[in-house]
């Protein structure tokens, strides 16, 4: 297996899909001449030319709408937002056009488009540029939402998203672009809607996705040192959720902690916690715990910034609460 960074895995997926299907194109701010704000599209303009790799003005609403129209006309655009924070300006095109077009046209139109870019807390970017906004997208019927936590999943899920006939929003944690991991040499797809058990366990289920996976795996190690066996479930896809995998894990351990970087109210994680509480009620030995970002705008001060996010002690403390081992 090759060892690639997260950005290199995304680049490889884009390169292969652009070569495989001439209907695929990439558009967004600085994706061409600058090789992408995070260098995900490095080398693609030189290889495929400006008709396939399009630099756009800083107008998220405009170029997102252009991508939706192109998808309806038979192309397969990949729209890169420099950050999901800026994608708020394009909400109307995603929520009211891309997500609803198949339904409103009675199936006459499909919208095979991918919206992708960095999401979640970064460093020293303060409250307007350091937000986990996945709940905006996961709330909307008609969208599929993926959040890969490893280079291999970034590669495989992006390829699946590009080939999907419906709109897919891809969340790439901003702090993971340099993360290295093994990626199989041959082509492969990661199916949309399938979770993955990253660490088997028997005492408590820790459910998460995207960058917090690495925090949760560290917490599982610490719990093991304390004598507890934690199972770590990586959702990978936020819509549709792999409910079968969630319930199977919780019914094995009888305890559950859900971990997210986003705010606690009306989040993906709070929805997962409700699903577990409702559908595993008779199997639970403790209330479901939620570890989230603090319910505040992201601070600029770095110490406060770190304090506002999930960390290993917070996850371990939540797990100990459901294990009745606190103190």
pLDDT per residue over 274-294, tens digit each? 999 999 999 999 999 999 999
Query: Is the CB of residue 270 less than 8 Å from the CB of residue 288?
Result: no
Which tokens sit at 249? 């894990």
Query: Helix and strand tally (H, E) in the chain?
Result: 13, 14
- Give 121-179 pLDDT, tens digit per residue: 999 999 999 999 999 999 999 999 999 999 999 999 999 999 999 999 999 999 999 99
- Of the pLDDT bands very low, low, confident and very high (cuts 50, 70, 90), residue 326 is confident
The CATH code of the domain at 196-322 is 3.40.50.920
Contacts of 244 (CB under 8 A, 6+ apart): none
User: What was the pLDDT predicted at 145?
Assistant: 98
Match 């949309």 to its residue by tokens.
192
Q: How far is CA 88 from CA 60, 119, 212, in A?
A: 8, 12, 23
User: What was the pLDDT predicted at 8?
Assistant: 98
- Give 56-96 pLDDT, tens digit per residue: 999 999 999 999 999 999 999 999 999 999 999 999 999 99
- Give 29-66 pLDDT, tens digit per residue: 999 999 999 999 999 999 999 999 999 999 999 999 99
Q: How far is CA 295 from CA 102, 119, 125, 207, 314, in A?
A: 36, 17, 17, 20, 15
| Residues of the chain above pLDDT 90, percent | 98
All CATH 3.40.50.970 domain ranges of the chain, comma separated, are: 2-183
Query: Is the CB of residue 93 less than 8 Å from the CB of residue 65?
Result: yes
Which tokens sit at 27? 């558009």
Task: Tell me, yes or no, if 129 is annotated catalytic.
Answer: yes
Beta bridge partners of 170: 116, 146
Domain 2-183: CATH superfamily is Thiamin diphosphate (ThDP)-binding fold, Pyr/PP domains (3.40.50.970)
Query: Is the CB of residue 232 less than 8 Å from the CB of residue 197?
Result: yes
Q: Which of 60, 97, 174, 289 is catalytic?
A: 60
- Mean pLDDT score of the chain, rounded to an integer? 97
Query: Is the CB of residue 11 less than 8 Å from the CB of residue 44?
Result: yes
Of 22, 97, 31, which is closest to residue 66 (Cα–Cα)? 97
Half-sphere exposure of 2 (CA within 13 A, CB side): 14
Task: Tell me, yes or no, if 222 is annotated catalytic.
Answer: no
User: What was the pLDDT predicted at 325?
Assistant: 81
Contacts of 63 (CB under 8 A, 6+ apart): 27, 28, 56, 57, 79
Residue 327 pLDDT exceeds 60: no
Single pTM value for the model: 0.96
Cα dihedral 119, 176, 58, 163, rounded to 10, equals -80
Distance CA 244, CA 227 (A): 28
Beta bridge partners of 258: 207, 290
Q: What is the DSSP code (8-state) at residue 166?
A: S
State the Cα angle at 188 between 185 and 192, rounded to 5°.
145
Backbone dihedral angles phi then psi of residue 52, each to the nearest 5 degrees: -110, -25
All CATH 3.40.50.920 domain ranges of the chain, comma separated, are: 196-322
Q: Which of 16, 129, 196, 294 is catalytic?
A: 129
Contacts of 241 (CB under 8 A, 6+ apart): 193, 195, 235, 272, 275
């Amino acid at each position: 297996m090759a060892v690639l960074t997260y950005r290199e895995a995304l680049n490889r997926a884009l390169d292969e899909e652009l070569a495989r299907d001439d209907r695929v194109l990439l558009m967004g701010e600085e994706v061409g001449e600058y090789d992408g704000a995070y260098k995900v599209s490095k080398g693609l303009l030189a290889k495929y030319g400006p008709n396939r790799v399009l630099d756009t003005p800083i107008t998220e609403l405009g170029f997102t709408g252009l991508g939706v129209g192109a998808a309806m006309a038979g192309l397969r655009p990949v729209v890169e937002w420099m950050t999901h924070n800026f994608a708020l300006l394009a909400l109307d095109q995603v929520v009211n056009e891309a997500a609803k077009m198949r339904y409103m046209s009675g199936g006459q139109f499909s919208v095979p488009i991918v919206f992708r870019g960095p999401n979640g807390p970064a460093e020293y970017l303060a409250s307007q540029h350091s937000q986990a906004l996945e709940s905006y997208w996961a709330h909307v019927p008609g969208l599929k939402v993926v959040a890969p936590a490893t280079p291999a999943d970034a590669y495989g899920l992006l390829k699946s998203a590009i080939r999907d006939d419906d709109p897919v929003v891809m969340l790439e944690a901003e702090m993971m672009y340099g993360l290295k991991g093994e990626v199989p040499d041959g082509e492969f797809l990661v199916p949309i809607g399938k979770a993955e058990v990253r660490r088997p366990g028997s005492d408590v289920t820790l459910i998460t996705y995207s960058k917090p996976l690495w925090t949760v795996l560290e917490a599982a190690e610490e719990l093991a040192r304390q004598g507890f066996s934690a199972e770590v479930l990586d959702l990978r896809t936020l819509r549709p959720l792999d409910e079968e995998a969630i319930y199977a894990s919780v019914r094995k351990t009888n305890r559950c902690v859900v971990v997210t970087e986003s705010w606690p109210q009306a989040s993906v994680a709070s929805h997962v916690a409700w699903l577990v509480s409702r559908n595993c009620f008779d199997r639970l030995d403790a209330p479901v715990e939620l570890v989230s970002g603090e319910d505040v705008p992201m601070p600029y001060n770095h110490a406060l910034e770190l304090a506002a996010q999930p960390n290993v002690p917070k996850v371990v403390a939540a797990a100990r609460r459901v294990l009745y081992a606190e103190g």
